[in-house]
């Protein structure tokens, strides 16, 4: 027992101190030339002694009006520092259209290309423009009327944050940005990036690309993902697809591969509504097959040294008869796997003989699903499917801009959103 004591003590110390860096630093004195600053409409420059001056200090400038087609620079500072938090409210959280059509962009160190470019609602974790109360490790919306992030965002020379209103209506904008000025950043501090994309109908048998190949050294933080199921698959499960992370020379196959969509976000046997610090599912509407969910690799870092790409397989599951009926109705799908059960078997209660997996793409001799010889003992079938998928991905990179494409235009961001989502989920 004595020889294991040091290991036990170390394990106990790690358990007690995990995820508590802020608590350990509360008592520390500030480093020289380190200053706390807030930027808001009451002090747009963040300069010392310049806050709350209008209307003789009686809340004369609490918000801005952002007209249609205009930009609003929320922050534009020089020098080194770290953004620690941002809060944003006003009319944007109350309008699904503005949540998709007002974009947020962030620039570091004078770069002309933004490191962050996304619809403001999706960026703050309100995927598909749907608002629900939540709090996780990086984002929160306490009563579904505001946006918050607490992501550290370092910069060495300058930081600029801009809102652009591409909606047809003006927006009222309340905000504050909390940051720390400092003399210099640590040499290993990387730049925060966020990228949004959408594919309204994924290609059958092709993975949805959460993060296109980004070059450089960095850390993949995670993603907020939205799925709008195609009605032709209604009543089936969408989430058998595996998350795959390709890095540092991976080609056909990735180094990191999961086992299913709900598995990736820490659940299993389907996906309901839940909110955890690093994983969650904010919307799970089975009536309309609308799902929004997230995973953040904070306690389990995903590092890359040269390049990284993240993909989500497009695969669902259903009972064989249901899949046959969808094929007969002309649905676009491809069976890839089935589970055979012995007579009287019960996979959930582990009774009877064990089930048998059949890898239908590897087995050329196995009967096709529509063949009369297809086994009657088949319990479920996994199949490639095609859905409407979008995601906001978050990562750090060793440079202030990346090789990724620009934010897609209005047409792609808005295509079918009213009919597919906002008219079906009320009160969001």
CATH code of the domain covering residue 228: 2.60.120.1390
Residues 297, 173, single domain; the answer is yes
Does one domain contain both 133 and 176? yes
Q: What token pair was written down for 56? A: 């003789």
Instruction: Tell me whether residue 11 is in a domain.
Output: no
Task: Specify if 6 maps to a domain.
Answer: no
Segment 328-343 mean pLDDT: 91
259 and 347, same domain (yes or no): no
- Cα separation, 192 vs 3, in Å, equals 44
- Within a domain: 232: yes
3-7, 56-60, 200-204, 232-236, range with the lowest pLDDT: 3-7
The pTM (predicted TM-score) of the whole model is 0.92
236 & 341 share domain:
no
Kindly state whether residues 276 and 347 are assigned to the same domain.
Answer: no
Cβ atoms of 293 and 285 within 8 Å: the answer is: no
User: Nearest-CA neighbor of 116 among 310, 406, 312?
Assistant: 406
Tokens representing 327?
A: 């094929």
Residue 34 burial (CB count, 10 A): 13
Q: What is the predicted pLDDT for the residue at 428?
A: 66
Among 19-33, 46-60, 63-77, 374-388, the minimum mean pLDDT is found in 19-33
Report the C-alpha gap between 122 and 132 in whole angstroms. 12
- Beta strands 191-199; 116-119: pairing state: parallel
Domain boundaries, position 336: 316-384
CA 416 to chain centre: 21
Give tens-digit pLDDT for 348-374: 666 667 788 999 999 888 999 999 999
**Rounded to 10 degrees, what is the CA torsion of 16, 22, 27, 31?**
140
Note whether 95 and 62 are same-domain residues: yes
| Alpha-carbon dihedral sign for residues 392, 398, 401, 406 | negative
Q: How does DSSP classify residue 119?
A: E
Report which of residues 426 and 383 the model is more confident about. 383
Question: Looking at the 3D structure of the chain, how many domains does it have?
Answer: 2
């Amino acid at each position: 027992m004595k020889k294991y004591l040091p290991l036990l003590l170390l394990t106990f110390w790690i358990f007690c101190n995990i995820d508590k860096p802020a608590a350990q630093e509360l008592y520390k004195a500030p480093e020289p030339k380190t200053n706390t600053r807030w930027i808001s409409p009451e002090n747009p420059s963040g300069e010392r002694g310049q806050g709350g001056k209008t209307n003789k200090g009686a809340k004369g400038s609490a918000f801005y009006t952002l007209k249609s087609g205009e930009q609003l620079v929320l922050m534009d500072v020089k020098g080194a520092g770290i953004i620690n938090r941002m809060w944003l409210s006003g009319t944007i959280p109350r309008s699904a259209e503005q949540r998709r059509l007002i974009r947020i962009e962030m620039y570091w160190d004078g770069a002309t290309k933004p490191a962050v470019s996304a619809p403001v609602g999706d960026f703050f974790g309100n995927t598909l423009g749907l608002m629900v109360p939540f709090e996780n490790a990086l984002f929160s919306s306490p009563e579904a009327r505001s946006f918050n992030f607490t992501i550290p965002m370092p910069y060495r020379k300058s930081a600029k944050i801009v809102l652009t209103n591409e909606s047809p209506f003006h927006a009222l904008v309340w905000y504050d940005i909390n940051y720390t000025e400092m003399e210099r950043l640590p040499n290993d501090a990387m730049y925060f990036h966020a990228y949004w994309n959408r594919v309204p109908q994924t290609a059958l048998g092709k993975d949805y690309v959460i993060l296109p190949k980004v070059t450089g050294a960095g850390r993949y933080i995670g993603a907020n993902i939205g799925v709008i199921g195609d009605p032709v698959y209604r009543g089936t499960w969408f989430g058998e697809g595996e998350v795959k992370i390709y890095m540092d020379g991976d080609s056909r196959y990735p180094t990191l591969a999961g086992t299913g969509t709900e598995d990736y976000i820490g659940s299993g046997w389907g996906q309901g509504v839940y909110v955890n610090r690093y994983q969650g599912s904010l919307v799970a509407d089975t009536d309309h097959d609308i799902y929004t969910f997230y995973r953040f690799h904070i306690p389990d870092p995903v590092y890359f040294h040269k390049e990284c790409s993240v993909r989500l397989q497009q695969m669902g599951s259903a009972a064989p008869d249901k899949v046959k009926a969808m094929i007969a109705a002309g649905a676009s799908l491809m069976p890839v796997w089935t589970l055979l059960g012995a007579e009287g078997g019960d996979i959930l209660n582990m009774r009877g003989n064990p089930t048998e997996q059949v890898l239908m793409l590897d087995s050329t001799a196995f009967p096709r699903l529509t063949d009369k010889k297809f086994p009657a003992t088949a319990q479920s079938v996994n199949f490639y499917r095609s859905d409407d998928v979008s995601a906001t991905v978050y990562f750090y990179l060793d440079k202030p801009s990346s090789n990724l494409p620009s934010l897609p235009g209005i047409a792609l961001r808005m295509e079918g959103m009213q009919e597919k989502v906002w008219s079906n989920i009320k009160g969001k």
